[in-house]
A = this chain, B = another copy of it.
Amino acid sequence: VRAIVFDGRAATVQTRSDPQPGPDEALVRVRLAGICATDLEIVRGYTEHRGILGHEMVGEVQACASAPAWMGRRVAVEINAACGECDRCRRGHPTHCAHRTVMGIRARDGCFAEHVAVPVRSLHAVPDAVPDEAAVFTEPLAAALRVLEDIAPVPHGRVVVLGDGRLGLLVAMALHAHGCGVVARGRHAHKLERLHALGIATELAASPSEALGEADVVVECTGSAAGLDDALALVRPRGTIVLKSTFAARPVLDTNRIVVDEIRLVGSRCGPFADALADLASGRVDPRPLLEARYPLAEGDRALAHAGRRGALKIVLEP
Name A's B-contacting residues (CB within 8 A).
88, 93, 96, 225, 228, 236-238, 243-247, 250-269
Contact = CB atoms under 8 A, between A and B. Distances in A.
Nearest to A250: B252
Contact of A96 (B88, B243, B262): B262
**8 closest Cβ contacts across the A-B interface?**
A258-B267, A96-B237, A265-B265, A259-B267, A253-B253, A246-B256, A262-B267, A250-B252
A93 B263 CA distance: 13
A244 B262 CA distance: 9
Contact of A253 (B96, B250, B256): B250
A245 B259 contact: yes
A93 B268 contact: no
A210 B282 CA distance: 48
A265 B257 CA distance: 13
Contact of A259 (B88, B243, B254, B256): B243
Q: Kindly report how many copies of this chain are found in the complex they form together.
A: 2
A111 to B, nearest CB: 20
A255 B243 contact: yes
Nearest to A254: B250
Contacts of A257: 267
30 contacts: A88-B237, A93-B237, A96-B237, A96-B261, A96-B262, A225-B255, A228-B255, A243-B259, A244-B259, A245-B259, A246-B255, A246-B259, A246-B260, A247-B255, A250-B252, A251-B253, A252-B252, A252-B253, A255-B267, A257-B267, A258-B265, A259-B267, A259-B269, A260-B267, A262-B267, A262-B268, A263-B266, A264-B264, A264-B265, A264-B267
Contacts of A238: 93, 96
Contacts of A267: 255, 257-264
Nearest to A157: B91
Nearest to A46: B256
Nearest to A228: B255
Nearest to A97: B237
Nearest to A258: B267
